[in-house]
Amino acid sequence: MSLAFLINKVFRIMKSTLSQRTINRLTQYYTILRDYFKKNIQNITSSQISQLLDIDETQVRKDIKSINCKGKCKVGYNVVELKAIIENILDYKVIKKAFVIGAGNLGVALSKYSKFSEFGLEIECLFDSDNEKIGKIIDGKEIFDIAMLKDKVKNTGINIAILTTPNKVAQTVCNYLVESGIKYIWNFAPSILIVPKNVKVWHENIIGSFIQFCAIENIK
Report 146-165 residues binding a second copy (CB under 8 A): 160
The residue type at 44:
I
- CA 36, 116, 157, 189 dihedral sign is positive
217 binds a second copy (CB under 8 A): yes
99 pairs with which residues across the strands?
125, 161
Q: 161 with 182: CB under 8 angstroms?
A: yes
**Which range in 56-64, 73-81, 148-156, 196-204 contacts a second copy by CB under 8 A?**
196-204
77 pairs with which residues across the strands?
44
Q: Which of 8/148 has CB closer to a second copy?
A: 8
- CA 80, 82, 88, 92 dihedral sign is negative
d(CA 9, CA 162): 29
Report 170-189 residues binding a second copy (CB under 8 A): 184, 186
The residue type at 8:
N
Q: 149 with 158: CB under 8 angstroms?
A: no
d(CA 32, CA 35): 5
169 binds a second copy (CB under 8 A): no
**Which range in 12-20, 74-82, 128-136, 147-155 contacts a second copy by CB under 8 A?**
12-20
59 binds a second copy (CB under 8 A): no
* Residue from 61, 96, 150, 152 in contact with a second copy (CB under 8 A): 96
113 binds a second copy (CB under 8 A): yes
Residues of the shown chain interacting with a second copy in the complex, contacts defined by CB under 8 A = 15-16, 18, 20-21, 23-24, 27-28, 31-32, 35, 52-54, 90-91, 94, 96, 104-106, 108-110, 112-116, 119, 121, 160, 167, 184, 186, 190-192, 194, 200-217, 219-220
